[in-house]
Structure 1
């Protein structure tokens, strides 16, 4: 059993159900249009109070220094802007692959912000936490806000939407993808004409695509192989810049059947889509 005052909270994965790149900004970031949706699957964080003001993290993330760790950065930034003297001991159960396009690090940061806001009794509104999250990464605000969304700008301008909530099978082909290599590739599509949110939603699943997919296919043959294999069995797409790809299934038994076929060289899991983040559901259940 957790100690009194501890919080154990999910840090769910996200999918980009579609991703268009509409331009490149003067600051080097790419202008995007995307549909974010959560999965009922992800990492788990346990946050326990410390009276000494220290922030401690139990986690081993290969290649990630303390200065780059989004959990530590989120906790320390929250301390700094509020002036709180509280500390925390944070334990991370990492289930999502790093660099998979599922938003794992951003989700961990958002769960840290919302969890410590509750644990430390800071009572900051979601808007303030989302603004703080944007300092950490473009994907953090959608996890803070906690609702499926149409995203524009660099993904930080969010409008809540209601998407279909089928089952998904997510496959990680076992390769690491450099986001910088994808966004820096000369052949990347950067001029997709902007569309309205209404048009994107009216077009539906059949019209959705990821502009990063052709570039990732060319740079990472194993991802291309997985996309080809999965695409013969169900409608499939890359999420973010990958490496994870996902297939959409109507029923859980269909997801189970597909999982049973996945080649052993790839990792895979199933999960239902969610329009409301499992993090927010968990916080509601722990409402003071």
Structure 2
């Protein structure tokens, strides 16, 4: 086996996000559709024999020990008992705190990649269980498929979604997820629906229960959503700040993205049902 792996860490979109309850521990019960997209960070994992975990690409303002990829590596090392180490580096393209799942995806890529690099032989289920300690979105990236999710986002059922082109905008503002979920006006009692109804209803049934609160608290998000809605139905992903619209053709998506790019960081991405990490590692 090579002493180094370079792997993708793809983004996700929440095609819908309903909040159906609040748990005793403060977390919220959700129903959501995760779709993997072909926009990703890239991580390089280089084997070390000295058990050290080193980060070659620190993030300004984030202590290395707080970085999610370092935490993921340490969690796996501690749990497995391996004496091997790794040097981690990341080529970051996904915006931090944008609702695209970048941090969770990075952690999942580290867990899955180190499972192979350290020759641990853990199952995807075991890695997903570990990943849940790092974040509710980590398991979907470990399993590597678009999915219907319930609970806090960890109860996953693989689904096949349509694969349109997406225009994704980041309104250049950071949204506080805890602030949104603590807002007293947040809808917390959406009526639960079945997965079948969610899939059969399609876009007409889909919404994001966080969107109204985010628009109220963050006018820059509201402005971008309203602008994008001129061209296609637009929606927040997660708690934002990123938002997206779907297009049937790449040409149409790129035309709108070119206009959006005059005001905001903007990407064009294709919807996927299987993660490129799944393709690379077979997990």
TM-score by length of 2: 0.97
CA distance in 1 between partners of 2:57 and 2:167 (Å): 27
1:61 is matched with: 59
CA distance in 1 between partners of 2:155 and 2:261 (Å): 38
Measured against aligned partners, the alpha-carbon deviations of 1:182-208 in whole angstroms (never above 9, x if no partner) come to: 111111101101111011111111221
CA-CA distance at 1:278 after TM superposition: 1.0
CA-CA distance at 1:4 after TM superposition: 4.3
CA distance in 2 between partners of 1:43 and 1:264 (Å): 23
Secondary structure of the equivalent of 2:64?
coil
Matched, 1:128 2:129: no
Moved more, 194-203 or 67-76: 67-76
2:148 is matched with: 150
Secondary structure of the equivalent of 1:18?
strand
Matches within 5 A, 1:109-120: 109-120=107-118
Matches within 5 A, 1:13-24: 13-24=11-22
Does the 8 Å CA contact 2:17/2:32 hold for their aligned counterparts?
Answer: yes
CA distance in 1 between partners of 2:61 and 2:241 (Å): 17
2:204 is matched with: 206
1:223 is matched with: 221
Measured against aligned partners, the alpha-carbon deviations of 1:22-45 in whole angstroms (never above 9, x if no partner) come to: 111000001100000101111100
Matched, 1:51 2:49: yes
Moved more, 254-263 or 15-24: 254-263
2:174 is matched with: 176
Secondary structure of the equivalent of 1:136?
coil
Structure 2: gaps (5+ residues):
none
CA distance in 2 between partners of 1:4 and 1:118 (Å): 10
CA-CA distance at 1:263 after TM superposition: 4.7
Provide the aligned C-alpha RMSD in A: 1.3
Does the 8 Å CA contact 1:174/1:265 hold for their aligned counterparts?
Answer: no
Structure 1: gaps (5+ residues):
none
CA distance in 2 between partners of 1:224 and 1:124 (Å): 44
Moved over 4 A (4+): none
Secondary structure of the equivalent of 1:188?
coil
Matches within 5 A, 1:198-277: 198-277=196-275
Matches within 5 A, 1:95-106: 95-106=93-104
Measured against aligned partners, the alpha-carbon deviations of 1:50-88 in whole angstroms (never above 9, x if no partner) come to: 111111112232432233211011101111111111111
CA-CA distance at 1:5 after TM superposition: 2.1
CA distance in 2 between partners of 1:194 and 1:179 (Å): 22
Measured against aligned partners, the alpha-carbon deviations of 1:125-181 in whole angstroms (never above 9, x if no partner) come to: 000000000011100000001111110000000010000001111100000110011
Measured against aligned partners, the alpha-carbon deviations of 1:204-250 in whole angstroms (never above 9, x if no partner) come to: 11221000000000000000000000011112100000000011011
2:36 is matched with: 38
1:83 is matched with: 81
CA distance in 2 between partners of 1:225 and 1:98 (Å): 20
TM-score by length of 1: 0.96
